[in-house]
């Protein structure tokens, strides 16, 4: 006789509780717990101000009259009719574009120095990272002195070398072209260390074998640089460049401290112009409309970043 597969009247073994489930074992509850602070943070400091800015842009709110009245697209029309707006927009692109070229270029060169092995490398690394660790307010004060209209040490050096006449000055922040160059130079000086560290991470990730294989294959320094190293760190360069571009596009710290947009709006960028109109000038609605103009441009850049990141994951 075959044994029945299922014994109907056998009592199931009682299951003993070994230990209680703790909070740390409950993934669902934990997920909410850990997400909550950042959700609150994003809603309070990103979503609400962003919503407010959109609202203000279509209103007539000002520092003197905070009551909300619908104004349609009047603020935008006013901004577009203002030549300073177009000047700021152009400056923003020049500022961002030129800065990024130099930041990536110097960042790559410094990254190569950071990964190189030589005597006294720690002091060079320290010097490279110094601009990043110095507070902007502090470092920009020394830049203000360096670029001072009369007492600029740079001018003094130029005079000593003989490139500048006795008693003459460059007026680094006074001449429109020079002022923009100065703003860009300080911004580049500020961001290069970060770019260098990001690119260094990219360089370190290249397997040593590949560089050595290229050496054995007869490639010299420049061929290895342009055919092996740069293509392999290109995804990292692209992400950091886009990231830096967004940061630069919305940054007004250097402009605010060095030139306040001057001379004659020659260094005015969109973010500083929005700030001066909206906060300093009290025209909250007008400032919001200008600031909102940045949004579609930044959105495009963000989409760009995400696409590059996806491509890296795929390959």
Partner 1 sequence: MAVVEVRDLIKQFDGGKVHAIDGVNLTAGDGEYLVLLGPSGCGKTTLLRTIAGLEEPTGGDILIDDHVVTGLPPRARKIAMVFQSYALYPHKTVLANIVFPLRAVRMDKVEREKKARWAAELLGIEKLLDRKPRQLSGGERQRVALARALVREPQVFLLDEPLSNLDAKLRASARDELKGFQDEIGTTTIYVTHDQIEAMGLGDRIAVLAGGKVRQVGPPTEIYDDPADTFVATFIGSPPMNLVPREGLLVGFRPEHLLPAEHVRGDDRTPLPLAVDRIEYLSGDRHVYGTVSRIGEETRVVARLPATVDTPITAGETHDFAVHASRLRFFDAGEEGLRTEPIRLGV
Q: Which of 83, 162, 207, 296 binds partner 1 (CB under 8 A)?
A: 207
Mark the segment that binds partner 1 (CB under 8 A) among 61-69, 182-190, 213-221, 262-270: 213-221
Q: Is 120 in the site for partner 1 (CB under 8 A)?
A: no
Q: Is 212 in the site for partner 1 (CB under 8 A)?
A: yes
Q: Is 90 in the site for partner 1 (CB under 8 A)?
A: no
CB of 218 to partner 1, least distance (A): 4
Mark the segment that binds partner 1 (CB under 8 A) among 125-133, 177-185, 212-220, 253-261: 212-220
CB of 81 to partner 1, least distance (A): 49
Q: Which of 109, 231, 306, 312 binds partner 1 (CB under 8 A)?
A: 231
Q: Closest CB to partner 1 among 230 and 279?
A: 230
Q: Closest CB to partner 1 among 26 and 310?
A: 310
> What is the contact mask toward partner 1 in residues 122 to 161, using x (rule: CB under 8 A)?
----------------------------------------
CA-based R_g, the chain, Å: 28
Mark the segment that binds partner 1 (CB under 8 A) among 28-36, 97-105, 123-131, 227-235: 227-235
Mark the segment that binds partner 1 (CB under 8 A) among 6-14, 137-145, 221-229, 280-288: 221-229
40-64 per-residue burial string, b: 16 or more CB within 10 A, e: under 16: eeeeeeeeeeeeebeebbbbbbbee
Q: How many residues make contact with partner 1 (CB under 8 A)? A: 18
Mark the segment that binds partner 1 (CB under 8 A) among 145-153, 189-197, 222-230, 265-273: 222-230
Q: Which of 185, 228, 237, 274 binds partner 1 (CB under 8 A)?
A: 228
Q: Is 225 in the site for partner 1 (CB under 8 A)?
A: no
Query: Residue by residue, what is the 3-state secondary structure of the chain?
Result: CCCCCCCCCCCCCCCCCCCCCCHHHCHHHHHHHHHHHHHHHHHHHHHHHHHHHHHHHCECCCCCCCCCCECCCHHHHHHHHCHHHHHHHHHHHHHHHHHHHHHHHHHHHHHHHHHCCCCCHHHHHHHHHHHHHCCHHHHHHHHHHHCCCCCCHHHHHHHHHCCCCCCCCCCCCCCHHHHHHHHHHHHHHHHHHHHHHHHHHHHHCCCHHHHHHHHHCCCCHHHHHHHHHHHHHHHHHHHHHHHHHHHHHHCCHHHHHHCCCCCCCCCCCHHHHHHHHHHHCCCHHHHHHHHHHHHHHHHHHHHHHHHHHHHHHHC
- Residue 32 has which token pair? 């909410």
Q: Which of 164, 232, 257, 309 binds partner 1 (CB under 8 A)?
A: 232
Q: Which residues bind partner 1 (CB under 8 A)?
A: 207, 209-210, 212-220, 223, 227-228, 231-232, 315
């Amino acid at each position: 006789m075959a044994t029945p597969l299922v014994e109907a009247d056998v009592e199931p073994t009682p299951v003993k509780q070994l230990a209680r489930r703790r909070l740390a074992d409950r993934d669902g509850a934990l997920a909410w717990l850990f997400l909550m602070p950042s959700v609150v943070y994003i809603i309070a400091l990103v979503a609400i101000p962003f919503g407010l800015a959109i609202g203000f842009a279509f209103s007539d709110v000002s520092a003197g009259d905070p009551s909300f009245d619908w104004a349609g697209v009047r603020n935008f029309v006013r901004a577009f009719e203002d030549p300073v707006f177009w000047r700021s927009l152009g400056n923003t692109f020049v500022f961002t574009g030129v800065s990024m070229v130099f930041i990536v270029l110097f960042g790559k060169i410094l990254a190569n120095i950071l990964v190189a092995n030589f005597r006294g490398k720690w002091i060079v690394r320290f010097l490279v990272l110094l601009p990043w660790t110095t507070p902007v307010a502090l470092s920009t004060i020394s830049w203000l002195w360096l670029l001072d209209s009369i007492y600029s040490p740079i001018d003094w050096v130029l005079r000593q070398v003989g490139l500048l006449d006795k008693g003459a000055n460059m007026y680094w922040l006074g001449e429109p072209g020079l002022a923009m160059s100065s703003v860009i130079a300080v911004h580049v000086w500020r961001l290069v260390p970060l770019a260098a560290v990001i690119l260094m991470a990219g360089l370190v990730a290249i397997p040593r074998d590949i560089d050595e294989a290229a050496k054995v294959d007869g490639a010299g320094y420049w061929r290895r640089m342009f055919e092996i190293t740069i293509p392999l760190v290109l995804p990292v360069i692209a992400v950091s460049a886009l990231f830096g571009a967004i940061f630069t596009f919305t940054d007004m710290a250097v402009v605010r401290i060095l030139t306040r947009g001057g001379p004659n709006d020659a260094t005015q960028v969109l973010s500083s112009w929005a700030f001066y109109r909206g906060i300093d000038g009290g025209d909250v609605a007008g400032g919001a409309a200008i600031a909102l103009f940045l949004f579609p441009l930044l959105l495009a850049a963000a989409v760009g970043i995400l696409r590059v990141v996806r491509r890296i994951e795929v390959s």
